Amino acid sequence: MKPEKVVKKRVALILLIGIFLLLGIFMYNQWKFLRDMIEEKNGDMANRYWHQNQCLETIEEIAAEIIISNRISKKTLNDIKYLNKRYLELKIHKEYYQPKNYLYGDLKNKISDNLLNRFIHETNDFFEEIYDNNIKLTDKNLQYIKNLHSKTKELNSIVDKYEFSIRQEYENLFYSENFANSINEMDRCIDINWFKKLEYEREDREEKKLKNLKPEDIFGEKVFSENEAREVAQEFLGDFDTVKRRTGSGESRYDDDKMFEHIDFDTIKEYEVEISVLGGKINRIFDKEWDDLLEEQGKSFDESQINISKEESINKLIKFLDERNIKDLEVIEVDEYGPELKVRFVKDTGRYLNMAAEIECIVDLTRKGRLLELSLEDYWQGLAFDDSRYDQALTGYDKAKKVLGSKITVTEENLVGEGTREQSLDFYWRFATRYDGEEYYIYVNVETGEEDIKKINK
């Protein structure tokens, strides 16, 4: 064989191998892209399913509480707030159910949840009306709540029926027939005519005119560039740490579904710092290695590894915040979870404690109180809440004290403002007392005289 022909064959073989290699790399990248997309979609579907089921479970619980007690208790109001949070998450994830195998054109197992969504939406609206005190517990409304309870109980029984099977397939919900069947069965459980029968009486009353906060009221009007946000982050950190680079951005929610942007930076000491673009406020600082370290510590943790006291840790936090001009704070809760110490502060305005302006901190007791997380979002928002009821609250002291009765020994008293969904403060006189070696707070609502008791956890 001539040398020229041998060379040509070798070149042709090399080109052919190269083409197959390129084709293989292309096919691998496409497979990897498809796999990653399906994994992401699977996580989104799981999130939506969890929020949906939390809504249904909470609706049944709220309805049962009202039916049994024939009143709206403080716990019921808290449960309604929880339902509203889960419903807002459900709205955010509303596009995350997809037909089984839809990427391949197989639409036979398409998921339908239109009626189920409508049921949760209308029920959430109804309980919001109760929360806002626009609905009275008339016989007609109690019957409406009984019907809701009956229907939700039926829906939750379908969730229970498929729960074990879906848990077994949780990593592959994208392809799960049980997952699709569960949602479709719940959707079919609700007849469109059922909504026509659900009518309730709404109380006609004058709407309360309260301050409607805009983002600018909370964060200021200035929009910060990336470089300006970096400077703010470094100024806040000071000699505690050094900003390295931007790692990303995102959106945070305030006042239900309103959003504002934030920029994220990482630091030399492996923290991530989140800063709002509007106003340049520090929203959050957290240790990026926290979860991995906690998992390692959890396997072998014992109290002998703790090398700092709670008191020292709290004082260290107060000093850290004070140096950054976040002053006049009161500790309202301290919890210890293994190596973690969680501390919650609120703003002491000098006139009252603003419970809406809350700071949450977590430190590691096995690493000299190293900061694991600092969350300030609620603090900035709470500072802007409407406190126009303050003067009225001052005049309600004697009335609140009478609610306690003469047998209770008060060791401390404060006026506190609790945040509401309307971004205002409801005021309570808070009285501390002791019973059987434990300390308790008694909260008396200034307007209603309603009493609530909580154990002090400090």
The helix/strand/coil state of 8 is: helix
Residue 170: pLDDT band by 50, 70, 90 thresholds?
low
Residue from 248, 251, 231 nearest 288 by CA:
248
**Selected residue with higher pLDDT from 45 and 389:** 389
Buried b (16+ CB within 10 A) or exposed e, 163-195: eeebeebeeebbebebbbbbbbebbebbeeeee
10 pLDDT exceeds 80? no
Gap between the Cα atoms of 400 and 392, Å rounded:
12
Tens digit of each residue's pLDDT (9 = 90 or more) over 322-344: 999 999 999 998 888 778 899 99
Choose between 260 and 258: higher pLDDT. Answer: 260
pLDDT in tens, 422-434: 788 999 999 888 8
* CB-CB neighbours of 355 under 10 Å: 22
Is it true that domain 293-381 has CATH number 3.10.450?
A: yes
Residue 288's alpha-carbon distances to 268, 272, 342, 373, in angstroms, are 11, 6, 17, 9
Residue 94 has pLDDT above 60, yes or no: no
User: Which residues are CB-contacts of 377 (< 8 A; sequence separation ≥ 6)?
Assistant: 252, 254, 283, 284
pLDDT in the model for residue 320: 93
Res 298: pLDDT: 53
The rounded percent of the chain whose pLDDT value lies above 70 is 74
Residue 147: pLDDT band (50, 70, 90) is confident
365 within 8 A of 307, measured Cβ to Cβ: yes
Per CATH, the number for 216-288 is 3.10.450
CA 414 to CA 407: how far, in whole Å? Answer: 19
Taken in order 300, 304, 308, 310, the sign of the CA dihedral is positive
Q: Are strands 340-348 and 370-375 parallel, antiparallel or unpaired?
A: unpaired
pLDDT for the residue 427? 92
Euclidean distance between CA atoms 333 and 346, whole angstroms? 10
Of 162-171, 357-366, 407-416, minimum mean pLDDT range:
162-171
The model's pLDDT over 355-384, given as tens digits with 9 standing for 90+, comes to 999 999 999 998 898 999 999 988 988 888
